[in-house]
Amino acid sequence: MYRYDEFDHQLVGERVKQFRGQVERRVSGELTEDAFKPLRLMNGVYLQLHAYMLRVAIPYGTLSSKQMRMQAHIARKYDRGYGHFTTRQNIQFNWPALDKIPDLLEELATVEMHAIQTSGNCIRNVTSDQYAAAIDGEIEDPRIISEIIRQWSTFHPEFTYLPRKFKIAVTGHDNDRAAIKLHDIGIVIKQNELGDVGYEIHVGGGQGRTPFIAKKMADFVPKAQLLAYLEAVMRVYNMLGRRDNSYKARIKIMVHETGEVEMRRLIEAEFAKIDASQMLAVPQAEIDRISAYFASPEFENLPATSATLDAAQAQDADFARWVRANVVAHKQHGYGIVNISLKPIGGVPGDATDVQMEAVADLAERYSFDEIRVTHEQNLVLPHIRLDDLKTVYDALNAHELATANLGLISDTIACPGLDYCNLANARSIPLAQEISERFADLDQQYDIGELKIKISGCINACGHHHVGHIGILGVDKKGTEFYQISLGGSADENASIGTITGRAFTEETIVDAIETVVTTYTDMRQTDERFIDTYRRVGLDPFKERLYAE
Amino acid sequence: MPNEYQLMKDGALCQDEWIYADEEVGLSDAPSIISLSRLKAEADVLRARNAKLGVQLLADGNGKTKLGEDVQELEPYLDMLSLVSIAFPTYRNGRGFSAARVLREQFNFDGELRASGEVLHDQWAMMRRCGITAFELAPSVSLETFSDAMGELTDAYQPAADDQRGALWQRHK
């Protein structure tokens, strides 16, 4: 994992001091809420329905046990004993008192963390693949370039007041778990025929009220030129992106209105000018320094299978089910990637208590080379667990209600905070996620249904990623009543697609039945081992529509 | 036309020798800041004028267009210009940050770059990093407030138009 040097420490420390001054000026009344707003936003502080909310950055979703324990401490001391892991691989605290936030940030800085650029119209926290350096078939650990991008984009003097927020995601693997095509810039690490590593760049993806899949802008940007290329994209956007309407200000709208060909021409013209100076070519010594922090853990040489694991699975059916659903093959023989579901049946997606966070930290320290990952699907990962230790880890997770065996299944939903917290929402998301998971509580039934991603947003801003849910649910408000619209066929992986709306919306009373109708339509029509998304792509929307709206 | 301001230039409060010229009236011999459209329309006449000339670059379309003025349009006239005033119509509109860097780094403009309009406390240091050397500040801002704000962050991660190289490079000098 990356560790701060004196420079990083100094910068974050100075930022905390600066923010303390701003908060003092706000509390004393010297700054009005209006004048304070842009300052607090740049430090991850939002004003929500009931209180200020603080969003803490977890760069590319990687945490150490010490950092996770700090989140538990913050939840206990400054909040109500829990935190919420988000679709941006960050953590949010819903109830901190404004005048205590500088103290909170100071404590956070002691474990090399901050809340910088987790909101505002700037380059946000870079996200990446939660299985980085654990999954087989990766070209390079995506966290190395993510860390370089994090540093380059932090307090960037030119790109901190962009037309709108800007999100960058990186993957080093052909199976995209970082939803790169739904980001303002998506980066895929590639190797060319000469064996050189470089980057395929996608620009202009996004969700919100006008969803777009990103367009491929460059096939292969050599390593040394990446920052120059990124700066070119950012500058073209900052100079020519729309600012007259905040709903049309994201780069996806610019790409759409300008056209892919002209956009590419603009970027390449700017890139040629920036690259000529060589100013943004990071020295190899610095790349080596950062890479060293991501060196592979010292794995043991172990057999590919584990007798201990096999015996435990034979004895304990619940454990076997959990292994099947939540443990993914590791690149190293004798290890597995453990997914910790934060979607207990009837629970709040993405929430974890202080005690749960500490339990995960303990397990990471003892069994996973001190590493934890946060996923954009709002779960946690212990990336490097010996197969021999799986049962021990499972038992410890189970004791803290963290062993729900539903990864990628129907109850593993993404949901935004919705009307329970958010002042933009039209409808509640969390209670609906809870009802759906209760309707399909039976795990055997969930396995039978197979991979099915339900994503719920409480409003058109799409924080719950409903556009890319296999089944997407959008909360809409009609004359003060909450309704839910269904869309089908979305996907956020390497075959990314935007879902299609089925038709008129459902009421709070009928939405869960409607979801069940969609599921039954699928199970009635699927061919052997066909996933929901594949059946949908084969048969199209009509059969689902017929069943949903049959009188 | 800008509101009342005090000029902070190269880190000190100073008298502004420049005036924003009235569009409809002929230019005096005083150093004058004119609009881009006037610059383009009267370039030949202005080239013969024997006094300092500046231009203001607008960041929004004044309701007429979706975009502001393009810094690239200044390139043919740079030899005539001693000053570019970059407008920040609200603190949220950061187009001018890019205009400043293009002027400094790509056009090698070495005249005065000033920020006019709504500029926040936190933005001054970033503007300086982009090559802006003069600021039209609200009369209530003290020199001390300004200097403190400039010094809040000692270093930077990335290069820009100033002489800070950025940590990614500086660590391996």
- What does the pLDDT read at residue B64? 73
Q: How remote is the C-alpha of A389 from its chain's centroid?
A: 28
Whole-number Å distance between alpha carbons of B138 and A133:
52
Q: How far is CA A286 from CA A58, A59, A148, A149, A449, in A?
A: 22, 19, 9, 13, 48
Whole-number Å distance between alpha carbons of A38 and A25:
14
Whole-number Å distance between alpha carbons of A233 and A238:
9
For B62, name the nearest residue in chain A, comparing CA atoms only.
Answer: A244
Q: How remote is the C-alpha of A300 from its chain's centroid?
A: 31
Whether residue A3 contacts residue A293, with contact meaning beta carbons closer than 8 Å, is answered with: yes
Q: Domain coordinates of chain A in residue numbers?
A: 6-110, 134-293, 307-399, 420-548
Q: Which CATH superfamily is domain A134-293 in?
A: Sulfite Reductase Hemoprotein, domain 1 (3.30.413.10)
Give φ, ψ of A78 to 5 degrees. -110, -10
- What does the pLDDT read at residue B3? 61
The class (CATH top level) of A307-399 is: alpha beta
One-letter amino acid at A423 equals: N
Of the candidates B156, B165, B72, B54, which has an alpha carbon nearest to the alpha carbon of residue B113?
B54
- CATH number of the domain bearing residue B26: 3.40.50
Q: Mind listing the pLDDT tens digit for each residue in B40-49?
A: 999 999 999 9
Whether residue A486 contacts residue A501, with contact meaning beta carbons closer than 8 Å, is answered with: yes
Mean pLDDT calculated for residue range A466-491: 94
Instruction: Identify how many contiguous H helices and E strands chain A contains and give both numbers.
Output: 18, 21
Q: Mind listing the pLDDT tens digit for each residue in A258-304?
A: 999 999 999 999 999 998 888 999 999 999 999 999 999 999 999 99
Q: Mind listing the pLDDT tens digit for each residue in A371-427?
A: 999 999 999 999 999 999 999 999 999 999 999 999 999 999 999 888 888 888 888
CB pairs under 8 A between A and B: 118
Rounded to the nearest angstrom, the minimum Cα separation between B101 and chain A is: 8
Angle at the Cα of B160 (from B69 to A156), degrees rounded to 5? 85
Whole-number Å distance between alpha carbons of A7 and A172:
28
Q: Mind listing the pLDDT tens digit for each residue in A520-532?
A: 999 999 999 999 9
- What does the pLDDT read at residue A37? 86
Q: How remote is the C-alpha of A416 from its chain's centroid?
A: 12
One-letter amino acid at A41 equals: L
Per the DSSP assignment, residues forming a β-bridge with A353 are: A82
Q: Quickly tell me which residue has 């749960």 as its tokens.
A: A356
* Residue among A17, A151, A162 minimizing CB distance to B168: A151
Mean residue pLDDT of chain B comes to 92
Whether residue A458 contacts residue A427, with contact meaning beta carbons closer than 8 Å, is answered with: yes
- The predicted model scores a pTM of 0.95
The secondary structure of chain A in percent helix, strand, coil, rounded to multiples of 5, reads 40, 20, 40
Interface of B with A in 54-93 (CB under 8 A): 60-61, 66-67, 70-71, 91-93
Topology match between the domains A307-399 and A420-548: no
Locate the DSSP E strands across A389-542: 414-415, 454-457, 471-478, 481-488, 500-501, 506-507
Q: Inter-chain contact A161–B171, Cβ cutoff 8 Å?
A: no
Q: Name the residue range of residue B126's domain.
A: 6-170
Q: Inter-chain contact A289–B171, Cβ cutoff 8 Å?
A: yes
Q: Mind listing the pLDDT tens digit for each residue in A91-147?
A: 999 889 999 999 999 999 999 999 999 999 999 999 999 999 999 999 999 999 999
Inside any domain, residue B1:
no
What is the CATH code of the structural domain delimited by A6-110?
3.90.480.20
* Long-range contacts formed by A190-193: CB under 8 A, 24+ apart: A190/A139, A190/A219, A190/A220, A191/A139, A192/A220
Rounded to the nearest angstrom, the minimum Cα separation between B167 and chain A is: 7
Q: Mind listing the pLDDT tens digit for each residue in A502-521?
A: 999 999 999 999 999 999 99
Q: Inter-chain contact B98–A238, Cβ cutoff 8 Å?
A: yes
Q: Quickly tell me which residue has 């800041």 as its tokens.
A: B33
Whether residue A267 contacts residue B149, with contact meaning beta carbons closer than 8 Å, is answered with: no
- What does the pLDDT read at residue B119? 84
Whole-number Å distance between alpha carbons of A540 and A437:
25
Per the DSSP assignment, residues forming a β-bridge with A169 are: A127, A186
Q: Mind listing the pLDDT tens digit for each residue in A1-32?
A: 999 999 999 999 999 999 998 899 888 888 88
- What does the pLDDT read at residue A278? 87
Of the candidates A476, A152, A470, A97, which has an alpha carbon nearest to the alpha carbon of residue A286?
A152
Please report residues of A whose CB lies closer than 8 A to that of B120. Answer: 35, 38-39
Whether residue A358 contacts residue A343, with contact meaning beta carbons closer than 8 Å, is answered with: no
Number of domains within chain B? 1
Q: How far is CA A85 from CA A246, A309, A433, in A?
A: 27, 30, 15
Please report residues of B whose CB lies closer than 8 A to that of A162. Answer: 94
Give the H or E element holding residue A230.
Answer: helix A226-240
Q: Percentage of chain A surpassing pLDDT 90?
A: 85
Confidence grade of residue A458 (pLDDT, cut at 50, 70, 90): very high
pLDDT reading at A36 higher than 60: yes
One-letter amino acid at A366 equals: R
Confidence grade of residue B1 (pLDDT, cut at 50, 70, 90): very low
Please report residues of B whose CB lies closer than 8 A to that of A17. Answer: 152
Residue A153 burial (10 A CB sphere; 0-12, 13-18, 19+): buried
Confidence grade of residue A473 (pLDDT, cut at 50, 70, 90): very high
Q: Inter-chain contact B98–A235, Cβ cutoff 8 Å?
A: yes
Largest CA distance in chain B: 56
Of the candidates A313, A340, A337, which has an alpha carbon nearest to the alpha carbon of residue A397?
A340
Q: What residues contact B142, with CB distance under 8 A and at least 6 apart?
A: none
Whole-number Å distance between alpha carbons of A378 and A368:
19
Please report residues of A whose CB lies closer than 8 A to that of B99. Answer: 239
Inside any domain, residue B95:
yes
- What does the pLDDT read at residue A33? 86
Q: Inter-chain contact A239–B98, Cβ cutoff 8 Å?
A: yes
Whether residue A107 contacts residue A127, with contact meaning beta carbons closer than 8 Å, is answered with: no
Whether residue A525 contacts residue A539, with contact meaning beta carbons closer than 8 Å, is answered with: yes
- What does the pLDDT read at residue A25? 86
* Residue among A15, A152, A160 minimizing CB distance to B157: A152
Confidence grade of residue A194 (pLDDT, cut at 50, 70, 90): very high
One-letter amino acid at A355 equals: V
Whole-number Å distance between alpha carbons of A232 and A218:
12
Mean pLDDT calculated for residue range A27-39: 85
Q: What residues contact A528, with CB distance under 8 A and at least 6 apart?
A: none
Q: What residues contact B115, with CB distance under 8 A and at least 6 apart?
A: B85, B86, B88, B96, B127, B132, B134, B135, B136
Rounded to the nearest angstrom, the minimum Cα separation between B21 and chain A is: 26
Please report residues of A whose CB lies closer than 8 A to that of B160. Answer: 157-158
Q: Mind listing the pLDDT tens digit for each residue in A228-266?
A: 999 999 999 999 999 999 999 999 999 999 999 999 999
One-letter amino acid at A57 equals: A
Q: How many CB atoms lie within 10 A of CB A438?
A: 12
Q: Inter-chain contact A7–B169, Cβ cutoff 8 Å?
A: no
Of the candidates B115, B119, B98, B116, which has an alpha carbon nearest to the alpha carbon of residue B107?
B98
Instruction: Give A72-129 as a 3 state SS string.
Output: HHHHHHHCCCEEEECCCCCEEECCCCHHHHHHHHHHHHHCCCCCCCCCCCCECCCEEC
Whole-number Å distance between alpha carbons of A354 and A75:
6
For A237, name the nearest residue in chain B, comparing CA atoms only.
Answer: B95
Inside any domain, residue B58:
yes
ipTM: 0.96
Q: Inter-chain contact B126–A273, Cβ cutoff 8 Å?
A: no
Please report residues of A whose CB lies closer than 8 A to that of B122. Answer: 18, 38-39, 42
For A240, name the nearest residue in chain B, comparing CA atoms only.
Answer: B67
Give φ, ψ of B62 to 5 degrees. 55, 35
**How far apart, in Å, do the first and last CA atoms of chain A sit?**
57
What is the CATH code of the structural domain delimited by A420-548?
3.30.413.10
Give the H or E element holding residue A148.
Answer: helix A142-153
